[in-house]
A and B are shown apart, each in its own frame.
Chain A
Amino acid sequence: MTDIIGYILIIIGILFDIFGCIGLVRFPDVYNRLQASTKCVTLGTILLLVGVALVSGSPALSGKAIICAVFILITSPTAAHAIAKGAHASGVELWKNSVVDKYAESKLEIRNTNEVSGE
């Protein structure tokens, strides 16, 4: 029973991985690609690692898989945030149908308040 649940989790995880990578190839923009691929691949790999931990009998393999899953859960959103900030600072254009750019607005507001307070 545990094996069946583990294999189902592994299959769902690999499907999420494939969908995330298709999003990485098909989407038009750095930010769209970042959002699709990071979320899908993080969830897929965590499900895969939990499935491996359920299927395998040995405690060493299961424990290391769970540690890996927790580590990816912590680091992957941090890395994605850093990449998005770096891409915006390096001047990558948004897609032409994007509707809102809150980060540029907030940077503009900060610059305006600094100029006002500097006078």
Chain B
Amino acid sequence: MITLFYIGLFICCFLCLYRIGRGPSAPDRTVAIDILGIVIVGFCAVIGLDAEKDFYLNVALAWALLSFIGTIALAKFLEGRSFDD
């Protein structure tokens, strides 16, 4: 059962990586990076369920925070403003 979860999430990750590599413009890549971050949070939760250790959820929390801040920074950069604006 857990193996099927891993396979499904791997499919999601590879679809996001395809869009990151292929995307014709910078906002496409930003969207794909954001989605990849959210998928990886779910991935960490499944790994934590498999290993029955709770520190993988700490990794997931930190990853969600950093992914959100990185996405906001990239969106500001796309908008043509600097980071301290």
Contacts and interface: CB of A to CB of B under 8 A. Distances in A.
A25 interface: yes
B15 A65 contact: no
Interface stretch (A41-49, A94-102, A103-111): A41-49
B46 A52 contact: yes
Contacts of B9: 14, 17
B52 A83 contact: no
A75 B68 contact: yes
How many B residues touch the partner, as a band? Answer: 35 or more
Contacts of B26: 90
B25 A92 contact: yes
B83 to A, nearest CB: 13
Interface string A15-53: 101101110110000100110011001101100110010
A44 B49 CA distance: 17
A52 B61 CA distance: 14
Given A24-B35, A52-B49, A68-B61, 8 more contacts: A22-B15, A42-B38, A76-B34, A86-B78, A87-B27, A87-B78, A89-B79, A90-B27
18 contacts: A13-B42, A14-B5, A14-B12, A18-B15, A21-B16, A38-B35, A41-B12, A41-B35, A41-B39, A45-B42, A52-B45, A52-B49, A65-B45, A68-B57, A68-B60, A82-B72, A87-B25, A87-B78
